[in-house]
């Protein structure tokens, strides 16, 4: 947001001079989504004052809701238990859950005890759903209509429900046991003759998701069928809540970040603004795993010590063989991982996808291998070195293509996240195989190379 820096400066000056009334007016003019970046840059003292001012405007909850959740702990530190509880109590249950989970362990109980009874019950009920499930993402504030209601009665119900509800686009029709029967788009309700019943107006058997389903499933349904909201039911088909499209956008963005992060071996909470010590702790395991893998690779190279001694020029080209195969493997891996996430594998099949990646890898391996071989020959003046390099690149890149495609598909089939660990497995295996092949055929042709 342009102007954040200057707004921040003004806000700080007002706070420092004790001009809280003017600071309050400034805050009132900003959208909750634009307040987040400001808030993250304040000192604890300033944060406290700003949250107090926002709370008076009934906007503290909305503002904190817009912050990246990774930033919440820093805000919580600046606030007292009382204030946090007051803010949490004003949130929808899905956001309430997210917040409470970010609270420091040692304060959580105390803050929850300060919540009103009904909020505590709501929270407890939501906790019964598995993490990252549709049940945790849904709002329980929605309007359910009776099948026998007329369009006019439905409109009267909406009028009576007040204006503070989340944007309603669909109205859900339930039977006397709260089983989901259908959906009436608000637009259709408005256009309908007033005496028409909901049963006549509704779209039957609407697309819905079970509360225990993964939030990703809910997001995919909304995206696939271009919905603005999706009803959530229990296993018996009773309506429990509604997931709105703004939450779906968050899930889609989050899942894309996770895929990207997992390919690079990053922890989900390792963000631009997260503290360096946390980032270090989170990156070390992956890097140590990679280190272990490189010792394995070093060991394999060590087997060919005599070969390297006799033709040290081979060492110049080692990074080329592993680098090219690594790049090719990551390309296949990225296409397949993203294809799985987007459901594009539906348009192909696992085996066809692996075969295609293999074919592509052979093609690009042949071209780059021949180019590399020719250049190596020219440079080192030894045609045999060129042949060894070309052959090694072709074979290693072909292997990388298969592995890049097969590893994520295999992980997926076994029920794991296809992106987690794929990178290190693919690059380590191609390195091992690539160096063994390159140095192996070099050993075989050593009298021509040395």
- Judged by CB under 8 A, the chain residues 147 through 166 that form the site for its own copies are 155, 158-159, 163, 165
Nearest to 416 by CA among 407, 428, 426: 407
In whole angstroms, give the CA distance from residue 264 to residue 256. 13
* Residue from 75, 79, 111, 301 binding its own copies (CB under 8 A): 301
Applying the rule CB under 8 A, the residues between 9 and 28 that interact with its own copies are: none
Of 80-88, 92-100, 106-114, 243-251, the window that binds its own copies (rule: CB under 8 A) is 243-251
- Residue 22: C-alpha distances to residues 14, 97, 361, 390, 422 (Å): 7, 34, 64, 71, 54
What number of chain residues touch its own copies (CB under 8 A)?
Answer: 113
Applying the rule CB under 8 A, the residues between 170 and 209 that interact with its own copies are: 185-191
Q: In the 3-class helix/strand/coil scheme, how is 237-264 assigned residue by residue? A: CEEEEEEEHHHHHHHHHHHHHHHHHHHC
Of 42-50, 76-84, 172-180, 291-299, the window that binds its own copies (rule: CB under 8 A) is 291-299
Min dist. Cβ of residue 120 to its own copies (A): 27
168 binds its own copies (CB under 8 A): yes
Min dist. Cβ of residue 43 to its own copies (A): 15
DSSP string across 103-129: S-HHHHHHHHHTS-HHHHHHHHHHHTS
444 binds its own copies (CB under 8 A): no
How many other CB atoms are found less than 10 A from the CB of residue 173?
A: 27
DSSP string across 297-313: HHHHHHHTHHHHHH-TT
Min dist. Cβ of residue 27 to its own copies (A): 17
Closer by beta carbon to its own copies, 128 or else 280: 280
Report DSSP state, residue 332.
Answer: H
226 binds its own copies (CB under 8 A): yes
Min dist. Cβ of residue 22 to its own copies (A): 22
Closer by beta carbon to its own copies, 55 or else 286: 286
In whole angstroms, give the CA distance from residue 241 to residue 55. 27
* Residue from 104, 316, 351, 444 binding its own copies (CB under 8 A): 316
Applying the rule CB under 8 A, the residues between 56 and 115 that interact with its own copies are: 68, 71
Closer by beta carbon to its own copies, 241 or else 339: 339
Min dist. Cβ of residue 82 to its own copies (A): 26
Closer by beta carbon to its own copies, 82 or else 268: 268
All residues at 6 or more sequence positions from 227 whose CB lies less than 8 Å from its CB, including other chains: 207, 221, 245
Min dist. Cβ of residue 351 to its own copies (A): 12
Length of the chain: 450
115-127 as b/e: b if 16+ CB within 10 A: beeebeebbeebe
* Residue from 114, 228, 391, 410 binding its own copies (CB under 8 A): 228
Applying the rule CB under 8 A, the residues between 349 and 388 that interact with its own copies are: 353, 356, 359-360, 363-364, 367-368, 371-372, 375, 379
How many other CB atoms are found less than 10 A from the CB of residue 77?
A: 11
Closer by beta carbon to its own copies, 85 or else 326: 326
Q: Which helix (H) or strand (E) holds 228?
A: none
């Amino acid at each position: 947001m342009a102007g954040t820096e200057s707004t921040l400066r003004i806000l700080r000056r007002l706070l420092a001079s004790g001009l809280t009334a003017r600071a309050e007016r400034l805050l009132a003019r900003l959208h909750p989504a634009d307040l987040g970046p400001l808030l993250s840059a304040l000192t604890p003292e300033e944060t406290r004052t700003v949250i107090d001012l926002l709370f008076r405007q009934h906007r503290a909850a909305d503002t904190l809701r817009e912050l990246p959740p990774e930033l919440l702990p820093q805000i919580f530190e600046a606030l007292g238990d009382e204030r946090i509880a007051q803010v949490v109590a004003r949130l929808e249950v899905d956001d309430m859950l997210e917040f409470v989970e970010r609270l420091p362990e040692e304060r959580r109980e105390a803050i929850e005890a300060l919540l009103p009874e009904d909020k505590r019950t709501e929270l407890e009920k939501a906790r019964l759903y598995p993490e990252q499930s549709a049940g945790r993402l849904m709002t329980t504030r929605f309007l359910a209509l009776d099948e026998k209601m007329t369009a006019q009665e439905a409109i009267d119900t909406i009028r009576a429900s007040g204006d503070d509800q989340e944007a309603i686009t669909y109205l859900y029709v339930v039977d006397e046991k709260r089983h989901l029967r259908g959906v009436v788009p608000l637009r259709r309700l408005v256009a309908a003759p007033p005496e028409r019943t909901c049963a006549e107006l509704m779209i039957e058997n609407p697309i819905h998701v079970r509360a225990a389903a993964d939030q990703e499933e809910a997001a995919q349904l909304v995206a696939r069928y271009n919905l603005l909201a999706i009803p959530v039911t229990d296993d018996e088909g009773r309506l429990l809540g509604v997931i709105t499209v703004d939450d779906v956008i968050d899930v889609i963005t989050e899942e894309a970040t996770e895929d990207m992060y997992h390919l690079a071996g990053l922890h989900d909470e390792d963000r631009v603004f997260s503290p360096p010590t946390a980032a270090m702790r989170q990156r070390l395991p992956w890097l140590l795993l990679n280190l272990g893998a490189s010792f394995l690779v070093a060991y394999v190279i060590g087997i060919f010590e005599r070969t390297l001694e006799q033709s040290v020029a081979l060492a110049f080209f080692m990074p080329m063989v592993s680098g090219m195969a690594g790049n090719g493997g990551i390309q296949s891996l990225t296409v397949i991982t993203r294809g799985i996430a987007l459901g594009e594998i539906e348009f192909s099949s696992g085996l066809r996808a692996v075969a295609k990646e293999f074919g592509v890898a052979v093609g690009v391996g042949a071209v780059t291998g021949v180019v590399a071989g020719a250049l190596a020959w020219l440079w080192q003046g030894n045609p045999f070195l060129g042949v060894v390099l070309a052959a090694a690149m072709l074979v290693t890149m072909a292997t990388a293509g298969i592995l890049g495609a097969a590893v994520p598909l295999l992980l997926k089939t076994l029920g794991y996240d296809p992106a987690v660990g794929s990178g290190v497995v693919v690059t380590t295996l191609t390195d091992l195989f690539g160096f063994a092949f390159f140095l192996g055929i070099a050993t075989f042709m050593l009298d021509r190379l040395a």
